[in-house]
A = this chain, B = another copy of it.
Amino acid sequence: MNGTAPGRLYGVGVGPGDPELVTLKALRVLRASPVVAWFAGPGRASNARRVVAAHLHDDQAEVALVYPVTTGAVEDGSDYEGLLAAFYDEAAVRLGALLADGRDVAVLCEGDPFFYGSFMYLYNRLRDGFETEVVPGVVSVVAGAAAIGAPLVCLNEALTVLSGTMPADELAARLQASQAAVIMKLGRNLPKVRAAVERAGLLDRAHYIERVTMDEERLARLADVDPAAAPYFSMVVIPSAAAAAR
Contacts and interface: CB of A to CB of B under 8 A. Distances in A.
A245 interface: yes
A166 B160 contact: no
B135 A146 contact: yes
A12 B7 CA distance: 35
10 contacts: A16-B136, A23-B23, A23-B138, A114-B142, A114-B151, A116-B155, A121-B246, A138-B138, A156-B166, A158-B162
A145 interface: yes
Given A114-B152, A115-B153, A149-B132, A22 B21 contact: no
Contacts of A19: 24
Given A23-B138, A153-B116, A160 B160 contact: yes
Given A124-B151, A155-B163, A22 B20 contact: no
Contacts of A62: none
Interface in A132-152: 132-139, 142-143, 145-146, 149-152
A23 B143 CA distance: 12
A218 interface: no
Given A114-B151, A163-B155, A246-B124, A23 B15 contact: yes
Interface in A92-137: 112-117, 120-121, 123-124, 127, 132-137
A160 B158 contact: yes
Nearest to A121: B246
A161 B153 contact: yes
Contacts of A145: 112, 114-115, 134, 136
Contact of A20 (B24, B117, B152): B24
B25 A20 contact: yes
Contacts of A27: 24
Scoring A24, A27, A145 by chain B CB atoms within 10 A of each residue's CB, the highest score goes to A24
Contacts of A18: 25
